[in-house]
Amino acid sequence: MSTWAVIKTGGKQYKVAEGDTVIVEKLEGENDKLVSFGQVLAIGGPKNVIGNPLVPNVQVLGKILENFKGNKIRVVKFRAKSKYLRQTGHRQKLTKVLIEKIQI
């Protein structure tokens, strides 16, 4: 039975295990840099631990694989019969992270 953890980064929560690849909000750093996720909300496996709100003395270590931009999202504002049309777009900056170790 493998160990997994629920981490919080970029305002979102992710369930990760060792060897997983996760796409998260942009993290500072270049490729092959090690990152540490200190906000661990829960741990599962042989022994389940749920934080209140965080699990103490636990870190999830990962390695940045690549920084990239996500797909473009179009935002359109339109009002009928008033000649009002506004279009904008957005591409979120993302980071692909390889989870290497869950330190308990």
- The domain segmentation of the chain, as residue ranges, is 4-103
Look at the alpha carbons of 4, 8, 10, 12 in this order and tell me if their dihedral is positive or negative: positive
Counting residues of the chain whose pLDDT is more than 90, the rounded percentage is 88
Contact between 12 and 46 (Cβ < 8 Å): no
What is the per-residue pLDDT across 44-79, written as a single tens digit (0 to 9) for each? 988 898 999 999 999 999 999 999 999 999 999 999
Map tokens 């490729």 to a residue.
Answer: 31
Is residue 1 very low, low, confident or very high in pLDDT (cuts 50, 70, 90)?
low
| Per-residue confidence (pLDDT) for residue 45, from 0 to 100 | 87
| Per-residue confidence (pLDDT) for residue 64, from 0 to 100 | 96
- The answer to whether the pTM exceeds 0.85 is no
